[in-house]
Structure 1
Amino acid sequence: MSHQKLHGLTRRIMIAMASGALLGILLNLLFGAEGLLKDYLTDGLLYVVGAIFVASLKMLVVPLVFVSLVGGVTSLGNLSALGRMSVKAILLYLFTTAVAISIALILATVVGPGQGFEAGVADVSFQGKEAPPISQVFISMVPTNPVAALSEGNMLQIIVFSLLFGIAITLAGERGRHVLNLFNDLDAVIMHMVEIIMRLAPYGVFALIARTFATQGLDLIVPLLAYFLTLTVALGLHAFVTYPLLLKLLAGLNPLRFLRKMRDPATFAFSTASSGATIPITMRTVEAKMGVDTSVASFTVPLGATLNMDGTAMMQGVATVFIANVYGVDLGVTEYLMVVLTATLASIGTAAVPGVGLVMLTMVLNQVGLPVEGIALIIGVDRLLDMMRTACNVTGDCAVSCIIAKGEGALDQVCFDDPHAGSVETATSDLAGAVAQEKA
């Protein structure tokens, strides 16, 4: 099969994203945010197609995480390996978060976004939410009703229940093996469902991107250009320098090959602005394209989607400096260190709270004595930046998964080095061949 055909889907997704952005900008410039086009196209057709696409992705998240994590835990065999892998993953996620916000603070301090900015341009208000105490976060990790946790999509509770269920299957011996076979079969079926959804991706991506740019426009970015560009550069440095460097130093993997294989999950993450909704694509990428064993990927990917807040941490760093400059507050070394510490620890403490980015930013601003009302200044461009932050977060999930897998001897190096591994076209061709062989 030709290289061109293998990467046909990725190319169509990229074309859809670029076309959607162009259409959205044109709609905003020519017709504005009101009128019949808004009612029937922007909030009509584009909204419906995009919402259905995101819903179809979210539909697969809970069954995929539950089934693959149970199967992954049982495939480890040695339960001590699970504990070792858990500690490695959590520490590595916290380390990358600390590095991320440090990069953001340094860059923002050099650029100085917010200097000369008129705070009066913001005509919106923001009411910060109070984050739960850390004790409550740990208590709420254990589900009182596993079925409710699955139906509500509470990822931390699903992870805990799946780990316990997988451990119980391992301890059950021969009886547990029958249950494990069922989960392995379900995992194969769900992965084929993911491939079906991926074939619809260009249409969903086009609708999501077009509607975002049609409603946001470029006029919101201009007054906050320094803030927008500073955070964009910071995210780029973290995604294209920090993660590849860690891959090379800690796992000896080729960073360029990794980045090439990140196109699909990064595009999905950018379009949906949701790490959770991107879990099916992320998991399929690290397993089928990067060669990470299911025993590792089924744990590190859902955990990363819940705890990995690198992109959000960078937003907090740049936003803190921006708001401090707007209100004329000088931050010292102590305040900067407090921002790093608070944002890093908050990536765990607020993992289960909706609107986690703004909750975490509220905590950081309170910690250094800055007015929470300053968040209202950046809300206008937060949607576009949230899309980029999510792409950065997903890149981190994949990088950490590869590093952990390499350290645990659970990475297929041949698969990682193969530029054609894991394409939807290849998977579909293999499935058709298997069916034809079975009929014969």
Structure 2
Amino acid sequence: MSQFLSERFLVAQIALGIILGVALAVIWPSLAVHTELFGSLFVAALKAAAPLLVFVLVMDAVANHNRAGDARFSPIIWLYLAGTMSAALVALLVSRMWPPEITLLTSSTDLTPPQGLSSVISGLALKVVDNPIKALVSGNFIGVLAWAAALGFALRGVASSTLTALSDVSAAMTQLVRYIIRLAPIGIFGLVAATTAKTGAAALLQYGHLIGLLLLCMVTVALVVNPILVFALTRSNPYPLVLTALRESGVTAFFTRSSAANIPVNLNLCKRLELNPDIYSVSIPLGAAVNMAGAAITITVMTMAAVNTLGIEVSLATALLLCITASLSAGGAAGVAGGSLLLIPLACNLFGISGDVAMQVVAVGFVIGVVQDSAETALNSSTDVVFTAAVSRSFGE
């Protein structure tokens, strides 16, 4: 029993937590609702620790950086771009093969989507120069990365004792986060029990076709597209890595529904995979901010659902433009309140769909969000590990 409780059986403990959570929701739903506190505390702890962890790790990595690692970041960025664009193309093809339609809602929402792609890009640029304290408090990882890298460069050339102390702080912060991750089985038990008790399946059945398409696209990207990209880079069997990332990163991301909260989990997994910390300490938080294959899928499928419902013809040129728009705007999903769903009106504008109708599509997205957002986050977060490991191993590390 003591062996099962050890850290190396964490995935099995999480699986047990999921089973117990579902069982409690079915047997005693009134009690299951109250277990949400466990999940909320776990996610809140991860979200609180993640920005500080990223700040310390990136600052340490840059200050003690080996310049030979510079060449490794270019392939990671290209993989992030290729993965997101490929995801949008997959979503477009699946939506053309099995056209989704939705029943537009009459309810309105007070949410405000971005007015154009330029506003998304300018918003991201402003987050780079955000107040560093504000960036840490609000979880603005673009700003955290920028300030940590700048301070790391400023610390180069200081006394070796200072750099050693910085590395010690980094190690201590990593250990603290490992303590939090050990609480994952309890936290996920609470999340699963409360979510299952409150939502059930009835609210999702009417949107089964749309949910099915979204999940099909995300599974295709995770198990077909990503392995192809990894094989092209490493020339080795990609599935052991892909399945490990899905099992140990994707599962926790699915239930926490937060790429930011899953950063410590991914960093811990990269450490256990014995990857280069100079690479993953930067690539993992960067991926959580800009590697958004799941968001590109959501934007494309939901937009195509609106187009099909309204009977709008889609030309090849417009379809390709939709993929490009979804890919570029997906990188801004983390910086927009409401995530990828609020970027749907931006894509709908390509087809002349009014803002009122587009926001009704967003409302449908929130109805299925318990599945859509979970699967999207699982794909995004696990892909960060897959691409980081692929690049690291392509350099023989």
Q: Same fold (TM over 0.5)?
A: yes
TM-score (norm 1): 0.81
Task: Give the superposition deviation at 1:350.
Answer: 4.7
Aligned partner of 1:366 among 341, 344, 349? 349
| Residue 417 of structure 1: aligned partner | none
Task: Report percent identity of matched pairs.
Answer: 26
In structure 2, do the counterparts of structure 1 residues 282 and 128 end up closer, same or farther at CA, with 3 Å as the change threshold?
Answer: same
Distance 1:6 1:257 in 2: 20
| Residue 83 of structure 2: aligned partner | 96
Task: Give the superposition deviation at 1:3.
Answer: 10
Distance 2:9 2:126 in 1: 46
Question: What letter matches 1:146 in structure 2?
Answer: P
| Residue 9 of structure 2: aligned partner | 8
SS in 2 for 1:378: helix
Superposed, 1:313-324 pairs within 5 Å as 313-324=296-307
Task: Give the superposition deviation at 1:232.
Answer: 0.7
Point out the more displaced range, 225-234 or 177-186. Answer: 177-186
| Residue 327 of structure 2: aligned partner | 344
Aligned partner of 2:270 among 286, 301, 310? 286
Task: Give the superposition deviation at 1:152.
Answer: 2.5
| CA distances 1:19-70 after superposition (whole Å, capped 9, x unpaired) | 323443566xxx7xxxxx2xx651xx32211111111111220221011111
1:204 correspondence with 2:204 = no
Question: What letter matches 1:161 in structure 2?
Answer: W
SS in 2 for 1:211: helix
1:155 correspondence with 2:141 = yes
1:146 correspondence with 2:132 = yes
| Residue 247 of structure 1: aligned partner | 230
Q: Structure 2, unaligned stretches of length 5 or more?
A: none
Task: Give the superposition deviation at 1:385.
Answer: 1.3
| Residue 49 of structure 1: aligned partner | 38
SS in 2 for 1:112: coil
Question: What letter matches 1:50 in structure 2?
Answer: G
Distance 1:180 1:6 in 2: 30
1:49, 1:204 within 8 Å by CA — same for their partners in 2?
A: yes
| Residue 267 of structure 1: aligned partner | 251
Question: What letter matches 2:201 in structure 1?
Answer: L
1:398 correspondence with 2:385 = yes
Task: Give the superposition deviation at 1:184.
Answer: 1.2
1:128, 1:358 within 8 Å by CA — same for their partners in 2?
A: no
Distance 1:352 1:58 in 2: 15
| Residue 21 of structure 1: aligned partner | 22
In structure 2, do the counterparts of structure 1 residues 306 and 297 end up closer, same or farther at CA, with 3 Å as the change threshold?
Answer: same
SS in 2 for 1:329: coil
Point out the more displaced range, 367-376 or 207-216. Answer: 367-376
Task: Give the superposition deviation at 1:357.
Answer: 0.6
| Residue 179 of structure 1: aligned partner | 162
Distance 1:377 1:177 in 2: 56
Aligned partner of 2:93 among 98, 102, 106? 106
In structure 2, do the counterparts of structure 1 residues 22 and 319 end up closer, same or farther at CA, with 3 Å as the change threshold?
Answer: farther
Aligned partner of 2:315 among 332, 345, 361? 332
SS in 1 for 2:311: coil
In structure 2, do the counterparts of structure 1 residues 259 and 106 end up closer, same or farther at CA, with 3 Å as the change threshold?
Answer: same
1:357 correspondence with 2:340 = yes
Larger Rg: 1
1:134 correspondence with 2:121 = yes
SS in 1 for 2:207: helix
Point out the more displaced range, 290-299 or 321-330. Answer: 321-330
2:54, 2:281 within 8 Å by CA — same for their partners in 1?
A: yes
In structure 2, do the counterparts of structure 1 residues 401 and 205 end up closer, same or farther at CA, with 3 Å as the change threshold?
Answer: same
Distance 1:388 1:334 in 2: 29
Aligned partner of 1:221 among 195, 204, 217? 204
1:25, 1:217 within 8 Å by CA — same for their partners in 2?
A: no
Distance 1:113 1:22 in 2: 33
TM-score (norm 2): 0.90
In structure 2, do the counterparts of structure 1 residues 350 and 239 end up closer, same or farther at CA, with 3 Å as the change threshold?
Answer: closer
Distance 1:245 1:218 in 2: 34
Task: Give the superposition deviation at 1:198.
Answer: 2.3
SS in 1 for 2:203: coil
In structure 2, do the counterparts of structure 1 residues 408 and 353 end up closer, same or farther at CA, with 3 Å as the change threshold?
Answer: farther
Distance 2:228 2:336 in 1: 31
| CA distances 1:210-265 after superposition (whole Å, capped 9, x unpaired) | 21222222112111111111111111111112222222220234423213422222
Task: Give the superposition deviation at 1:177.
Answer: 2.4
Q: Structure 1, unaligned stretches of length 5 or more?
A: 32-36, 412-440
Root-mean-square deviation over aligned CA pairs = 2.4
Distance 1:152 1:4 in 2: 34
Distance 1:105 1:41 in 2: 39
1:258 correspondence with 2:241 = yes
Distance 2:308 2:389 in 1: 39
In structure 2, do the counterparts of structure 1 residues 133 and 240 end up closer, same or farther at CA, with 3 Å as the change threshold?
Answer: closer
Distance 1:244 1:307 in 2: 20
